[in-house]
Every structure is written in structure tokens, then in C-alpha cells.
């Protein structure tokens, strides 16, 4: 079965026809030279690179994987040369600032690039995926001399970067971290400790690797406020090797193309980034962008699984399908294509509904990220609200869907789906990790409900729904019900301190469905102007969304109401 291939036309339709993103962006002075043609050209080139260079390496990435020996990590065949082509062609720096060697293009192009890359080869994509956060972190917090050495190297992707956060006893709870930073006479710090789950902690893709490390100064208080951020490269500018060691890589369920490293810091000399005790602030500044990247992995992987299931369903014949409401003449073959069976149609159209609706939300979120950077203050505040509320929903809902909906796509292939040669079981295994990293999906839900929705008594949620109503020109019954649910939670919470935590997962799902409904209203509104063929392409998932996906909203609503009444 052939590798994933980007379908630029579908992505373009969402970007331009549904969202009018080129015009939205043109309104920002930073992008006054960006137009629809330029964006299309970039996407087509990106699609070509992904389809021709990155996608064919996916299978070896899984089956051969990354290998550790004596502290060194060898990447799977072809990974290094593909990465060298990738950064030299300027892809990692697509949306980086021109003064740092970047192209200064809109974030949405970067986000669409990463959707395609993740769909094609999740393991390979982990490597460049991490440099964007590191670039922003260095750009906003590092001293001028550190920037001089590292900013453009990381911004262009010539050097890759890591985020060294997790420790064996401190997974989601970074405040428990124990890695120590001891000040040295020369103003540097000696790092000592062990970090685990470090993606790309060691590899042979680039000449150097830049590690950003959370550690604790000697006089630091316990908990998250005692953490500072440090930078230590694999090789210092003078060529000397640092005392950062990769002790082993993990054996994982999937994602074998990305080495997950145990990193030991053994008096590793590092420089501080930003102020002491403000380490987490520097990390959190890039959190929305990083979470959106993970959401794109979800959308991309689900699309990749869908492509395989759709292709299989169009060539495999099994049994007779029941006559549809329009009775059609049966083929002379012994059996019908399985795409004619209602159970298969339901799976394919439902997952299509998630991918297409997800694109609307994700691409719009990327536009909002650019508005935060480049628009006037009021617009930026509105965009900040969108990103704060929508990003955790996207991260959790689409990584969930990539795994569970990806499994549904696997089901279309029957026994062949369970066998490696068809490639779809790899997608399901690879996708599973995205529900865990960058904050587990349960933590996304608590972030949304407890830290954001409840923190301002539901005010920003109501404003978000107002903004959405202004754009779709309608408020659905579900959106109105979400307002009511929010009010119920806010009212009942003071008597019941765990209420927010108990309803968090259901609330996030309910909100995801309201967002997806809005996305499909936006798509539906563009269809009248389209050809019959294009209409039927988009109407099938639209109907599937209403029939099979949206009914979950009432269930979530019922669960939340019951919990509020029990408060």
C-alpha cells in the first residue's frame, strides 16, 4: 500500500475558501506581501518534499528505528540526508524572523507543513518539531551573547534542540524536579541530574544539539518557582564536548524513528536563560504553539490512517452491501466493494469529519498565533483568548481521535490492518504517544476547565462564543448549552472543590464538539458556490458529523449536569 501523500487541494480549500486566511493575514502589516498565490506555492513545494523525501522513510523508521550504542545514537536509514535537505531548503525557518535567517512567513504555513510531515513520518518529524519552541525561547529569554551563538543556528535548524524537563519521579509535575545547577566562578553553572523522555537527546542528524534544561539553583525554593532554565550544547563553540551523556534510549510502543533518551548531566557546564526561578515562564511562553504542533500530529496521523482505509475500501470486495435508499444495480462481481457497506462508510466519513473540521480550527488557531504577535493590542487580546481556550481542546481532542479514530480506520482493513506490511498499525502505535506528551490529555482538560474557564467565572468562554457567533452568524443550541453548563460549574464549584476536576474531561469533549460544529458550519456555508463533485466530497463528512459525532454532546452535557447537581 502506497505511502501517505499530501492532498494540497483539500487543505487549500479550508485555508482559502472556508477561512479566507490569506485575506485575514494580509491585514497584518507583517504579512502585507503575503498573498494566496505565494501561500499556495509554498504549500505545493512543501507537499512535494514531504511526499517524495520524508514519507518513503517512515517504514524503515519504524522497523529499523533509532539505535543506541556507547552513548551514540544512529538514526534510521535516510533520516540524516533528508534532514540535511530539509533545513538547507529553509523549511524549519519558514516562519522564523528574517533577521534570524528565517523567511518571515505566516505560522499557518508552518502548521500545515507539520501536519503533512507528521502524517508522512511522525518519528522523523519529532526532530525538527522541537526546534521551534527552543528558537522562541532563546529569542525571548537568552542573553545577547547566547543569541549571537545559538539563535540563527537553532532558528534555521542547522542545529537541533531538546527540552530537558521530565525526571524519573517527576513526569507531569515539573515542580518535583531535582536536577541541580551549581554556580561556577566563570558565571556558568554546573548541571547534575538525570532527565528522561528526552526526544532527540542524541542523534546523528546535525553537527550539534542544543539542550534547554530545567534545573534548581542551590538556594532555590522547592516546587515550580525554584526552577531555572539553562542552555548546554553537545559541543561548545570551541569544539569541546560537554558532559551531557545519553545513557540509553527507550523501547517504545511506536515512534521508533525518534530516539527517546535518558540524559545524564555530569557537571555539565551550562549558561542560564532568563532570570533565576523563572524557568517555567520561559517554557510556558511557547506552550500554545507547541500544543498546536501536537494537535497537528493528531490531524495528520488521522488523515494518514484515513487515506489507507479509504484506498483499501475502494479495492477490496467482501459480501453484498444492503441496497441503499436509492436502489442501484448490483455489480456482476461476486461481492461488493467494502466502501459500499454502511459500517465502512460510517467509519470513513466520520474520521473525515474530524480531519476536515480539525483543519478549520487548527489553521484558524495558527492565524490567531500570528495576530498575537503582529496585530494591534485589542485584536491580539482577542486572539490570545482564542488560543488559550482552543489550544488545549485541540491538543486533547485530536490526539485522542488520531489513536481511537485511527484504530477505526485500521478496522476497515480487517486482519490486514493488524499486519505490519499495510502500515496502518504503525500509525496507531505512533499516534498513541501524542495523548501523553506536551501535557497529558487529562492535564489539558484541567488546564482548560480549572485554570481558564473557572478562573474568570466563564467570562472568556462567553466572549469566545460571542466571537464565534459573529463569524458563523448563528449560535447553535449546543453553544448556548455550553454557556449554561459553564455557569452551572462556576456556580456549584465553591461548595465542591473537586467539581472542576471531575467534569474536566467531559467539558473538554463538549467544547471540542461545539468547536467542530462551528467548523462545519463554516465549511457548509462555502459549499453552495462549489461544483457538484466538490459538494459531495464535503457533504458526506458534514452529514457524518451531524449524524454520528455531534450526538456525543448531549451525553457530555448530561454527565456534567449530573455532577453539578451532586455538588
Subset of residues 218 to 277 that bind a copy of itself, contact rule: CB under 8 A: 222, 250-254, 260
Contact call for residue 545 and a copy of itself (CB under 8 A):
no
Contact call for residue 311 and a copy of itself (CB under 8 A):
no
Query: What is the SS3 string spanning 309-363?
Result: HHHHHCCCECCCCCCCCCCCCCCCCCCCEHHHCHHHHHHHHHHHHHHHHHHHHHH
Contact call for residue 522 and a copy of itself (CB under 8 A):
no
Cα–Cα distance, 359 to 483 (Å, whole number): 24
Restricting to residues 468-497, name those near a copy of itself by CB under 8 A.
Answer: 496-497
Question: Which range of residues in 114-122, 152-160, 179-187, 554-562 is near a copy of itself by CB under 8 A?
Answer: 554-562
Contact call for residue 432 and a copy of itself (CB under 8 A):
yes
Min dist. Cβ of residue 103 to a copy of itself (A):
34
Min dist. Cβ of residue 344 to a copy of itself (A):
8
Residue closer to a copy of itself by CB (options 2, 562) is 562
Kindly tell me which residue out of 2, 172, 491, 536 binds a copy of itself, with binding defined by CB under 8 A: 172
Kindly tell me which residue out of 7, 180, 248, 416 binds a copy of itself, with binding defined by CB under 8 A: 416
**How many residues in the shown chain lie near a copy of itself by CB under 8 A?**
77
Q: Where are the alpha helices (DSSP H) in 27-98?
A: 36-49, 58-63, 79-88
For residue 438, indicate whether it is catalytic: yes
Residue closer to a copy of itself by CB (options 378, 421) is 421
* Contact call for residues 472 and 515 (beta carbons, < 8 A): no
Beta strands 209-216; 160-164: pairing state: parallel
Restricting to residues 62-101, name those near a copy of itself by CB under 8 A.
Answer: none
* Contact call for residues 543 and 496 (beta carbons, < 8 A): no
Backbone angles phi, psi at 249, to 5 degrees: -120, 155
| Phi-psi region at 429: left, alpha or beta (left = phi > 0; alpha = psi -120 to 50) | alpha
Determine which one of 115, 158, 438, 478 is catalytic.
438
Cα–Cα distance, 22 to 88 (Å, whole number): 26
Residue closer to a copy of itself by CB (options 21, 283) is 283
Restricting to residues 115-154, name those near a copy of itself by CB under 8 A.
Answer: none
Min dist. Cβ of residue 373 to a copy of itself (A):
31
CA triple 45-299-559, angle to 5 deg: 160
Residue closer to a copy of itself by CB (options 143, 407) is 407
Kindly tell me which residue out of 341, 352, 359, 371 binds a copy of itself, with binding defined by CB under 8 A: 341
Residue 395 belongs to what H/E stretch? helix 377-412
Restricting to residues 183-212, name those near a copy of itself by CB under 8 A.
Answer: 196-197
* Contact call for residues 165 and 283 (beta carbons, < 8 A): yes
Catalytic residues: 438
Amino acid at each position: 500500500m502506497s505511502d501517505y501523500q499530501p492532498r494540497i487541494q483539500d487543505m487549500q480549500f479550508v485555508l482559502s475558501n472556508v477561512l479566507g486566511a490569506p485575506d485575514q493575514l494580509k491585514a497584518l502589516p507583517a504579512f502585507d506581501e503575503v498573498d494566496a498565490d505565494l501561500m499556495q506555492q509554498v504549500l505545493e513545494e512543501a507537499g512535494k518534499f514531504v511526499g517524495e523525501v520524508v514519507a518513503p522513510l517512515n517504514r524503515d523508521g519504524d522497523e529499523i528505528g533509532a539505535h543506541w550504542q556507547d552513548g551514540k545514537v544512529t538514526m534510521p536509514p535516510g533520516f540524516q540526508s533528508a534532514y540535511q535537505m530539509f533545513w538547507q531548503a529553509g523549511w524549519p525557518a519558514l516562519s522564523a524572523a528574517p533577521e534570524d535567517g528565517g523567511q518571515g512567513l505566516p505560522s499557518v504555513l508552518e502548521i500545515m507543513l507539520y501536519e503533512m510531515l507528521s502524517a508522512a513520518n511522525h518519528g522523523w518529524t519529532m526532530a525538527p518539531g522541537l526546534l521551534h519552541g527552543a528558537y522562541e525561547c532563546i529569542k525571548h529569554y537568552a542573553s545577547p551573547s547566547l543569541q549571537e551563538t545559538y539563535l540563527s543556528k537553532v532558528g534555521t535548524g542547522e542545529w537541533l534542540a531538546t527540552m530537558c524537563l521530565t525526571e524519573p519521579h517527576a513526569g507531569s509535575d515539573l515542580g518535583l524536579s531535582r536536577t541541580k545547577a551549581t554556580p561556577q566562578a566563570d558565571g556558568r553553572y554546573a548541571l547534575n541530574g538525570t532527565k528522561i523522555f528526552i526526544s532527540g537527546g542524541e542523534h546523528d542528524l546535525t553537527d550539534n544539539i542544543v539542550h534547554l534544561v530545567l534545573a534548581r539553583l542551590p538556594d532555590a525554593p522547592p516546587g515550580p518557582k525554584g526552577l531555572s532554565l539553562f542552555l548546554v550544547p553537545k559541543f561548545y563553540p570551541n569544539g569541546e564536548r560537554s558532559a551531557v551523556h545519553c545513557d540509553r534510549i527507550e523501547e517504545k510502543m511506536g515512534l521508533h524513528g525518534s530516539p527517546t533518551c535518558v540524559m545524564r548531566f555530569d557537571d555539565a557546564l551550562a549558561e542560564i536563560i532568563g532570570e533565576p526561578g523563572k524557568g517555567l515562564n520561559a517554557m510556558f511562553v511557547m506552550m500554545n504553539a507547541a500544543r498546536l504542533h501536537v494537535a497537528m500530529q493528531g490531524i495528520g496521523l488521522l488523515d494518514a490512517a484515513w487515506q489507507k482505509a479509504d484506498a483499501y475500501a475502494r479495492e477490496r470486495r467482501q459480501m453484498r452491501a444492503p441496497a441503499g435508499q436509492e436502489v442501484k444495480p448490483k455489480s456482476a462481481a461476486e461481492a461488493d466493494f467494502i466502501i459500499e457497506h454502511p459500517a465502512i462508510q460510517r467509519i470513513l466519513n466520520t474520521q473525515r469529519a474530524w480531519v476536515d473540521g480539525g483543519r478549520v480550527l487548527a489553521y484558524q488557531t495558527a492565524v490567531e498565533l500570528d495576530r498575537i504577535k503582529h496585530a494591534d493590542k485589542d485584536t491580539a487580546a482577542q486572539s490570545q483568548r482564542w488560543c488559550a481556550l482552543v489550544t488545549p481542546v485541540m491538543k486533547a481532542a485530536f490526539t485522542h481521535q488520531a489513536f481511537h479514530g485511527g484504530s477505526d480506520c485500521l478496522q476497515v482493513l480487517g486482519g490486514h490492518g493488524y499486519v505490519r506490511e499495510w502500515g496502518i498499525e504503525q500509525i496507531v502505535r505512533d499516534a498513541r504517544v501524542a495523548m501523553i506528551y506536551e501535557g497529558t490529555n487529562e492535564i489539558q482538560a484541567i488546564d482548560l476547565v480549572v485554570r481558564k474557564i473557572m478562573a474568570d467565572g466563564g467570562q472568556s468562554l462567553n466572549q469566545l462564543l460571542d466571537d464565534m457567533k459573529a463569524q458563523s452568524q448563528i449560535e447553535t443550541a449546543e453553544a448556548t448549552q455550553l454557556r449554561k453548563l459553564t455557569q452551572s460549574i462556576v456556580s456549584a464549584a465553591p461548595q465542591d472543590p473537586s467539581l472542576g476536576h471531575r467534569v474536566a474531561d467531559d467539558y473538554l469533549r463538549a467544547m471540542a464538539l461545539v468547536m467542530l460544529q462551528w467548523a462545519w458550519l463554516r465549511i457548509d456555508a462555502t459549499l453552495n458556490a462549489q461544483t457538484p463533485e466538490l459538494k459531495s466530497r464535503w457533504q458526506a463528512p458534514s452529514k457524518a458529523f451531524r449524524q454520528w459525532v455531534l450526538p456525543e454532546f448531549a451525553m457530555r452535557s448530561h454527565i456534567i449536569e449530573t455532577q453539578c447537581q451532586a455538588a
